[in-house]
Amino acid sequence: MKTIAIVPAAGIGSRMRADKPKQYLPLNGKLVLEHSLEVLLHSELIQQVYVAVAEHDAYFFKLDVSRHPKLVRVQGGASRAESVFNALEVASQSWPADTLVAVHDAARPGLDSATLYRVLDQAARMPNAGAFVAIPAWDTMKRVASMRALETMDRSELWHAQTPQVFPLQPLHHALYSAQNDGFTITDEASAMERMRWQPSIVEGSQRLRKVTCRDDLIMLSALLLAEESLD
């Protein structure tokens, strides 16, 4: 089955409070985005990688990886959903409707080849469901309003969604178009597909795939990746 990847990388990462977008911050000798792209570009399972970057991005074309033969740059949008939709618009001109699309966050630099294989395999086995990586909620989860706890949620039913998230091209394209057309806010591809009454399959991930949102995430990921290297 043909498989492509989309990496939305147009965000500015305002919560990081850094002098550049978080995907361009250094992490163990490379930039976060370089880590995030590495496994996708080197995987024989992925035929092409579309990277959605901001129109006036001053960093992307300075990277050696920007010239990789498998990589295609597309125009990013004002939101993650818009960036992914723009990439799907371009990809749909070259790839069949049933092509698997693996969407991976630019700010999740810990993707490994084993996790990529597992989520792609699961999505291929369940073409009418799709699949995404997630980890169970281990902490006690509270529903909060105005910084006051209203109730405790049943964490046995709660998972933290990660990426990659993998769905067939045409259904994902339609789901994102429908959500945008209806003014529905989409925070990940699985939520768009759930809105279309799909029930995506979950592949368990790990802390390695935590998203870089604040400086603490960079510190913890740096330590984790270094520790894993020392054990290899």
Write out pLDDT tens, residues 6-38.
999 998 765 666 678 999 999 999 999 999 999
The confidence score (pLDDT) of residue 16 equals: 60
Alpha-carbon torsion (193, 195, 198, 203), positive or negative: positive
The confidence score (pLDDT) of residue 11 equals: 82
Q: Which fold has domain 3-231?
A: Spore Coat Polysaccharide Biosynthesis Protein SpsA; Chain A (3.90.550)
**Model pTM score:** 0.95
The per-residue DSSP string of 54-118 comes to -TT-SSGGGSGGGG-TTEEEEE--SSHHHHHHHHHHHHTTTS-TT-EEEE--TT-TT--HHHHHH
The confidence score (pLDDT) of residue 228 equals: 83
Q: Per-residue confidence at 59, pLDDT binned at 50, 70, 90?
A: very high
Write out pLDDT tens, residues 114-170.
999 999 999 999 999 999 999 999 999 999 999 999 999 999 999 999 999 999 999
The confidence score (pLDDT) of residue 20 equals: 87
The confidence score (pLDDT) of residue 15 equals: 61
| Tokens describing residue 53 | 């970057």
Mean residue pLDDT of the chain comes to: 95
